[in-house]
Every structure is written in structure tokens, then in C-alpha cells.
Amino acid sequence: MALNPDTSFVDTHPQAGEAAAVLYPPIEPFASGHLDVGDGHRLYWELCGNPHGQPAVFLHGGPGSGCSADQRRLFDPARYCVLLFDQRGCGRSTPHASIEANTTWHLVEDIERLRRMLGVQRWLVLGGSWGSTLALAYAQAHPEQVTALILRGVFTARREELRWYYQDGASWMFPDEWTHFVAPVPVEERHDLLSAYARLLTDADEATQLRAAVAWSRWEARTIILRPDPVSLAQRTEPRFSLALARIECHYFMHGAFLEEGQLIRQADRLRGIPGVIVQGRYDMATPPRTAFELHQAWAGSDLRLVEAAGHAFKEPGITDQLIRATDRFAG
């Protein structure tokens, strides 16, 4: 594998006299609806910005979280026409919290269905966290449809990445929060927490499911940002949201996101010719920087923007700054 010679780690503090980029003003969709994608699933979708602007699609994290109003604000509404959608089983899509016919490759085909529905030939793809996984899988399967890639908090679902976050890594940094995460799991099952949670989240008893779901979602909410955010914690531990997030995430991660081990890094040569920006927090506990670095090295033409004072969440100021700069860069 040839190394990418254009590594560009940056301290993302603005230069003297330069203001940090901030989210664009709140915006409402100019169109929305539901698309029947088969298998009993109906996806919520919305279009924001300029109907005649540059096409873009936003891929939310999780899987299982759904898209939010603030994610619309990563794009200049005068220059972009942005599609956002809730992936199978979450947000406003139905059926809620369903893991049936719900895999990475179902979602890749869903993105293609949405593109064809809109009559778009090529578009920019932005994805963060799990959205970066899905963006990479989509771009490697359909490179001819992608004008540029913007990735945040890169995650490729390799065994070592999953073990870091759900077994033997991040627990060393958050021992207090780890006690809450393992609390629903019997001691004798804690050697394999993903398997234990897969059982709990599909238990016949609804109370057992919800207790596990809230513990899973709390762990994520408390570890993805440098400074605790009570609002985000409350949103992410709401029972309905937690159930979709936890059940779908655990389903995907138990199956290695339905990818071959190391597939997305190994097949990075399929991105040749696609320009891209990778935005990564230095202190990201959910998806540590090594994966972003390895992807950057394997993907010729990528630009790695390492944010020194940030964790995982897109609302970290330095990460927001770099994402806005990236969407502005590719706005034509």
C-alpha cells in the first residue's frame, strides 16, 4: 500500500484575524416525505437549501440515531440542495427499532434509491461516525456517483475498534461511566458485552430491553464529547430514542457492520479520484484517530484535519469549524 504523502495535521485554531466557521442559520425543509424501500421499511427524507443548488446527501451516525435539524446547518443553504434521511428503523422511519432487513448493504441501496428518486446523477456525501462507515461503503460501491467525501470521526467497524469502545479501551478513560454501562449485564457475561447486550436488547421483557438501551445510550452520550452536555444526555437517554439506537447499533456491531474485516481501509483505492476531507478529534474516545490516519494514508487525495481540542461529536467547536470549511470548499 502506497502511503499518502499529503498528510496535513492541523491545529484548527483560526489564524490571526480569521473567525471560526459556525453553523449556518436554522432552516426548514422545502420538501419531505416517506419512501417505501421494501422489506416493510419506509424511510423519512427531507430536502433543504436551494432546490437548484449542488446536490449533497448527509448520512447520520448510530446506526439508529436519525437526522436532526442542526445537521441541516452544515451546508450553505444558498449553494447546496441537501438530502437528509432517517435510516432504517430510526427517527421518523418505520418500523421503529427494527433490525429486520437492516444491514449496511440495505442502506447503500437505500441511498441509491433516494438518488434515483431525486434524479441526481452525482452528489457530495457527508457522514460522521457510523455515517462515515456508510459513506465509505457507498462511495466504494458507487464511486461514479460521488463528487466529494467529507468524513467525521472515522469508524470502519474492525474488531479492534469495537473492542476498544465496548470492551477493553475507553473504559480506562471513563471508569465511572463504565460502571453504568456494564450494570445491566450479569457478571458472568461481561467478558463479551456485545453478545450480552444483543440478548438484553431483544429480550421478551420490555423493561429489560429499555434498561439495557438507556445504559448503552448513556455510555455513548457521556463519552463522545469532551465536556459533559446535559441536553444531549437527556435526548439520548429518552427511552424511545435509546431503544432504536442501542438495538440497531448492537445488531450492526455484532455482525461487524456486515463488512469483511478491514474492508473499508483495504479497498480505499476505489476512492481514487474522489477528493475528500477527514475531520477527526484528537481526543475522540469513541473512534480514536488511528483509524482516520490509516484511511488517510490509504486514500490518495484525502486531506486529514486533526482537531487538537475535540472529542467525537460534530458540535465540538473545532469540528464544526472544519466541517463547515469543508462543505464551503466543495460548494463549487
pLDDT, one tens digit per residue, over 55-73 is: 999 999 999 999 999 999 9
Q: Which of 39, 54, 182 is nearest to 106 (CA)?
A: 39
Residue from 41, 60, 251, 312 carrying the catalytic annotation: 312
Residue from 93, 129, 171, 242 carrying the catalytic annotation: 129
- What residue segments make up the domains of the chain, in order of their start? 31-158+258-329, 161-257
Q: Structure pTM? A: 0.95
Residue 8 has pLDDT above 60, yes or no: no
Let me know if 96 is a catalytic residue. no
Q: Assign 13 a pLDDT band (cuts: 50, 70, 90).
A: low
Let me know if 180 is a catalytic residue. no
Q: Name, in order, each residue with C-beta under 8 angstroms of 131's C-beta and a sequence gap of 6 or more.
A: 58, 59, 60, 61, 152
The superfamily CATH assigns to domain 31-158+258-329 is: Alpha/Beta hydrolase fold, catalytic domain (3.40.50.1820)
Q: Compute the mean pLDDT over every residue in the chain, rounded to the nearest whole number.
A: 94
**Once rounded to an integer, what is the mean pLDDT over residues 234-238?**
92
For residue range 247-305, what is the model confidence (pLDDT) as tens digits?
999 999 999 999 999 999 999 999 999 999 999 999 999 999 999 999 999 999 999 99
Residue 15 has pLDDT above 80, yes or no: no
Let me know if 284 is a catalytic residue. yes
**In what side-by-side order are the strands of the sheet with 54-59?**
31-38, 41-49, 80-85, 54-59, 123-128, 146-152, 276-281, 302-307
Percent of the chain scoring above 90 in pLDDT: 90
CA dihedral 283, 288, 291, 297 (to 10 degrees): 20
Look at 80-89, 104-113, 224-233, 307-316 and tell me which has the smallest mean pLDDT.
224-233
Residue 2 has pLDDT above 70, yes or no: no
Residue from 86, 110, 284, 321 carrying the catalytic annotation: 284
Residue 51 has pLDDT above 70, yes or no: yes
**Once rounded to an integer, what is the mean pLDDT over residues 197-211?**
98
